[in-house]
Amino acid sequence: MILGLDVSTSITGATILDKDGKVVYNEAWDLRKYKNFFKKVEYVETQITKLKRDGKRIETVFIEQSLQAFRSGFSSAKTLSTLARFNGVVWWLVYGMLQVEPQYLAATSARKTCGITVPRGQKGKAVAMQYVLDNIPEVTISYTRNNNIKPECYDKVDSWVIAKAGYNICQKEKK
């Protein structure tokens, strides 16, 4: 099975695909209630422990690569630093707990590997969401009372994209 993670200090998306590329697990781990960095890490550790306890035999792990550069109007240096640290700690947890060395995938190349084309001027997350809504019913999307997509659903979708891209990469390597 392949685990795809969209790591963030607010909500981490996790998707597991079976040997046929079918979704067997797709969740968002909500970390927003934990203000302490180490409490967030402990919560992720608990979720990975549950996956192991539930008999999910994860053989390959792909993690979305964290942002590497500044972009106008986006994250500050402090935010990028915290995210990179958290991403590294999750990488280490996965390696230690699952005995699998994770591989990093950039979001743009992962979407491309899944056949998701983002037209110029459109946001990748929105295009990926629409793709999943149209094609992947196993990824459940929930809405607010105002009929907006809940924030955690974007993380679920992003983790599916990472897992599916990883699955496609593994399939190419087998051939």
**C-alpha–C-alpha distance, residues 118 and 168, integer Å:** 19
pLDDT at residue 67 in the model: 56
Tokens of 30: 């909500």
Range of the domain at 29: 2-174
pLDDT at residue 44 in the model: 96
pLDDT at residue 158 in the model: 96
pLDDT at residue 54 in the model: 86
pLDDT at residue 83 in the model: 78
Angle between helices 124-135 and 151-174 (to 10 degrees): 80
pLDDT at residue 82 in the model: 79
DSSP bridge pairs for 12: 29
The domain total for the chain is 1
Residues 6+ apart with CB under 8 A from 7: 63, 64, 66, 83, 86, 87, 90
Strand arrangement, sheet containing 2-6:
23-30, 11-17, 2-6, 60-64, 103-105
- Is residue 155 within 8 Å of residue 12, measured between CB atoms? yes
We report the CATH number of the domain holding residue 137 as 3.30.420.10
pLDDT < 50 positions in the chain: 68-73
Can you give the pTM of this predicted structure?
A: 0.89
Neighbours of 6 (CB within 10 A): 25
- Is residue 139 within 8 Å of residue 115, measured between CB atoms? no
Classify burial at 146, counting beta carbons within 10 Å of its beta carbon; exposed 0-12, middle 13-18, buried 19 or more. exposed
- Is residue 64 within 8 Å of residue 7, measured between CB atoms? yes
Strands 2-6 and 60-64, sheet pairing = parallel
Percent of the chain with pLDDT over 70: 94
pLDDT at residue 172 in the model: 87
